[in-house]
Amino acid sequence: MKSIAHLFLAATAATLPLFALATDTASEAKASKSSQPDLVKGETTFTTVCAACHGADGNAVVPNYPKLAQQHPQYLIKQLQEFKSDKRANPIMKGFASMLSDDDMKNVSYWVSSKQANASPPADKSLLSLGERIYRGGIIDRQIPACAGCHGPRGTGMPAQYPRLSGQHAEYSVAQLTAFRDGTRTNSLQMTQVTAKLNDREIKALASYIAGLR
């Protein structure tokens, strides 16, 4: 006859896999919960660190500063990390990004992405037709691809990979396209290669068209 102790050990062994599964599941749930952005902290940090330039709700009033509202959070996190590491050179943003931890970046990015972006008027209506042609069809004879291929026909972009462009200040878009072309912004090889073939008028036309996208 099996001893009571033997039976107890057998029963305990039988329950170990279930206990381990429950423990693993609880750990995963806790890890998943802890990885979620804290939007309350995100708003507090944004208000303290970012709002002076980018607006209280991510809609920058000064056209030289980008609108961040409704931007993909994954893209914003990537840019903040690259400002901090100097992969994207900008002494002003370097200072602010260096103040932020990885959690701060996530919280801020997800909070501001939840805000509605305001519409911007096209900067130069006389260039809208040219801007639309390039954005939607590229320039075939110079092997310039259509912007819509990556950023979407309405400028909504793709999370992490390609930013939302719709409604962005034309002045800011001109500055970034020019920086890519001139080699002062180097954190996207694809954009460097595309803009290398654009002249000033084409850049201005694209920026004006993008500002009016809805």
Partners of residue 158 on adjacent β-strands: 162
- The answer to whether the CB of 88 falls within 8 A of the CB of 187 is yes
Token pair recorded at residue 96: 């602010």
Q: What is the pLDDT of residue 65?
A: 97
Query: Is the CATH number 1.10.760.10 carried by domain 39-113?
Result: yes
Contacts of 158 (CB under 8 A, 6+ apart): 72, 150, 151, 152
Length of the chain: 214
User: Residues 6 or more apart from 50 whose CB is under 8 A from it?
Assistant: 68, 96, 108, 112
Please report the pLDDT score of residue 34 as a whole number.
54
Q: How high is the pLDDT of residue 4?
A: 43
Which amino acid, 61?
Answer: V
Nearest to 51 by CA among 70, 37, 65, 71: 65
- What are the domain boundaries of the chain? 1-30, 39-113, 125-211
Regions in the chain scoring below 50 on pLDDT? 1-33
Segment 98-148, tens digit of pLDDT = 999 999 999 999 999 999 999 888 778 899 999 999 999 999 999 999 999
Q: What angle do CA 22, 28, 29 make, to 5 degrees?
A: 90
**Assigned fold of 125-211:** Cytochrome Bc1 Complex; Chain D, domain 2 (1.10.760)
pLDDT reported for residue 120: 84
Whole-number pLDDT of residue 153: 96
d(CA 37, CA 4): 51
Residue showing tokens 């309405």: 154
Q: What is the pLDDT of residue 214?
A: 85
